[in-house]
A and B are shown apart, each in its own frame.
Chain A
Amino acid sequence: LAKTTQPISMDSYEGQEVNITCSHNNIATNDYITWYQQFPSQGPRFIIQGYKTKVTNEVASLFIPADRKSSTLSLPRVSLSDTAVYYCLVLRRGYSTLTFGKGTMLLVSP
């Protein structure tokens, strides 16, 4: 599966939009992108997934360009409670194993 690269950490303030970009240069045709969020002392939680273009749900948006070599998780107007680690994963359709990288530690300040 494609290796992912994302920033180690990001800082933001309440009310700002946060964009976290993940690189996955070797993504294959049968692969899709998924993002998980982990709060301190909790297990990771699914946020969003997509194959191409744009996906939006009540939590976030996911932008995937045509070449699919990267993806951007967008969190609109973050609050202090969005402070967490965000993981980008590339998964193969039909296969269930999730391999986590280091993730991006997002710190939201007042």
Chain B
Amino acid sequence: DAGVIQSPRHEVTEMGQEVTLRCKPISGHDYLFWYRQTMMRGLELLIYFNNNVPIDDSGMPEDRFSAKMPNASFSTLKIQPSEPRDSAVYFCASSQTTGGFTEAFFGQGTRLTVV
């Protein structure tokens, strides 16, 4: 497996524009996570899915953020409208829990810059 694949790797957009980040998890993994990382706040969990169903979105900063997982091999994180404070690296991760233990695999991240 190629690991967790995120696209794009870099995104520069103007304030007010819609941004869509994409993620392909590892085949067979039943959990998918979206994280955001900034220098100030570190790694924050935004939302996670189990078997394509959103379980906890309490980390989503506001209504401008939305995430979907239409099938087991694809998820999107959308920001509409984008603001400069959304600039960060966004990571997608997938995992499966085996014997009660979890190992998560992260993608390379999408570096978002909103100007």
Contacts and interface: CB of A to CB of B under 8 A. Distances in A.
A97 B56 contact: yes
Contacts of B107: 43
Interface residues on A, range: 20 to 34
Interface string A23-58: 000000000101000000111111001000000000
A98 B108 CA distance: 17
B8 to A, nearest CB: 15
Interface in B88-104: 91, 93, 95, 97, 100-104
B31 A96 contact: yes
B104 A46 contact: yes
Q: Which 7 A-B pairs have the closest CB atoms?
A: A43-B106, A93-B100, A100-B43, A96-B102, A96-B31, A94-B100, A46-B103
Given A32-B101, A101-B42, A102-B42, A96 B95 contact: yes
A45 B45 contact: no
Contacts of A101: 42
